């Protein structure tokens, strides 16, 4: 039996309200349209569903049985529609982001704070892992998108969006203040103890590729697992560290660290995001990415 679902919803409203006029008002259609829908449904089902009286309508035995059976289904559908609308209005939902610890602390936090103020009922889940693990998480739907340092060799099924340019440089504390007002050839840093992030990180690959292109060989004295450790060891004077200007504003402001200017200059790189090309992003994810893009263009 192929019956228009709107007829079921009309029957449900009349049975619930026990009144055709009230049902018409609830459904925002005319009273004759409600009466016609009930008549059509009765004809298609082959039975009488209501008996009219001076107070409205009452269900027949068949109508009562029919109402009890479809009531839960109609209410579940109405609830699903309401929940979907709430999700589309960002009244609830889940945002899942894959990102490194450093980018979480140095880049993402202000955006998370603003997004939470705008949409306090959206839950936020942050997954911090290396880029190669995040790619798998994106593919498996464990995160909506990943935020990462670019350039990066991404598989062809991921779409990349550039978000912000950043500028890498070497930094030192005042143990090396003789370098403060100089611009030195990059290759001369081979004479100093250097602190770099470990191989495997996108930032390290970017720097190694730049050195190789310029035929410069710099061997670090220390290789550490994170940018925060590079900064920490540089602060206590264990060597000259490789950092990102935009992430070291406070250290520069407080004169804890200064930039060691080099020639050639290290070119800018990019913070970006990546997500599956064939999968439509949720309204929550799109809204957050729009926040990132709007902030960077302002």
What is the maximum alpha-carbon separation in the chain? 101
The class level of CATH for 168-267 reads alpha beta
User: Residue ranges of the alpha helices (H) in 176-253?
Assistant: 202-213, 227-235, 249-253
The per-residue pLDDT for 85 is 80
The CATH number of domain 5-88, selected from 1.10.3720.10, 3.30.70.260, 1.10.10.10, 3.40.50.1860: 1.10.10.10
For the chain, residues with pLDDT lower than 50 are none
The per-residue pLDDT for 53 is 87
Interacting residues of 38 by C-beta distance below 8 A, sequence separation 6+: 10, 11, 14, 20, 49, 50
What gap in Å lies between CA 114 and CA 155, rounded to an integer? 31
The per-residue pLDDT for 22 is 93
Fold classification of 93-163+271-297 (topology level): D-Maltodextrin-Binding Protein; domain 2 (3.40.190)
Provide the CB-side half-sphere exposure for 29 (13 A, CA): 15
Q: Domain spans of the chain? A: 5-88, 93-163+271-297, 168-267
Is the CB of residue 41 less than 8 Å from the CB of residue 51? no
3 state DSSP class of 9 = helix
User: Residue ranges of the alpha helices (H) in the chain?
Assistant: 5-17, 20-27, 31-45, 61-88, 101-103, 109-118, 131-139, 202-213, 227-235, 249-253, 283-297
The pLDDT tens digits for 177-225 are 999 989 999 999 999 999 999 998 889 999 999 999 999 999 999 999 8
Determine which helix (DSSP H) or strand (DSSP E) holds 241, and give its type and residue range: strand 240-244
Cis amide linkage into residue 69, ω under 30° from 0: no
The per-residue pLDDT for 116 is 95
Interacting residues of 294 by C-beta distance below 8 A, sequence separation 6+: none
The per-residue pLDDT for 291 is 94
pTM of the model: 0.72
Q: Would you call 240 exposed, middle or buried from its count of C-beta atoms within 10 A (0-12, 13-18, 19+)?
A: buried
Q: Could you check whether 5-88 and 93-163+271-297 share the same CATH topology? A: no
């Amino acid at each position: 039996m192929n019956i228009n679902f709107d007829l079921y919803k009309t029957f449900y409203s009349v049975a619930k309200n026990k009144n055709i006029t009230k049902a018409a008002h609830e459904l925002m259609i005319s009273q004759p349209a409600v009466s016609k829908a009930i008549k059509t449904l009765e004809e298609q089902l082959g039975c009488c569903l209501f008996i009219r009286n001076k107070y409205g309508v009452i269900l027949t035995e068949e109508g009562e049985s029919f109402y009890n059976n479809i009531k839960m289904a109609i209410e579940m559908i109405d609830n699903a529609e309401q929940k979907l609308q709430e999700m589309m209005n960002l009244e609830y939902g889940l945002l899942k982001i894959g990102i490194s610890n450093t980018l979480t602390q140095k880049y993402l936090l202000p955006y998370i704070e603003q997004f939470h103020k705008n949409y306090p009922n959206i839950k936020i889940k942050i997954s911090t892992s290396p880029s190669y693990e995040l790619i798998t998480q994106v593919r498996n739907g464990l995160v909506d998108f990943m935020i990462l340092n670019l350039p990066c060799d991404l598989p062809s099924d991921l779409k990349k969006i550039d978000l912000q340019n950043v500028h890498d440089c070497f930094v030192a504390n005042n143990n090396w203040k003789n370098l403060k007002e100089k611009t030195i050839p990059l290759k001369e840093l081979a004479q100093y103890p250097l602190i770099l992030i470990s191989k495997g990180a996108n930032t390290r690959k970017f720097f190694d590729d730049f050195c190789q292109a310029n035929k410069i060989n710099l061997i670090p004295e220390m290789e550490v697992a994170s940018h925060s450790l590079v900064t920490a060891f540089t602060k206590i004077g264990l060597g000259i560290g490789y950092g990102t200007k935009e992430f070291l504003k406070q250290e520069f402001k407080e004169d804890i660290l200064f930039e060691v200017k080099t020639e050639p200059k290290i070119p800018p790189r990019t913070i970006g995001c990546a997500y599956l090309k064939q999968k439509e992003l949720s309204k929550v994810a799109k809204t957050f990415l729009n926040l990132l893009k709007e902030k960077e263009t302002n």
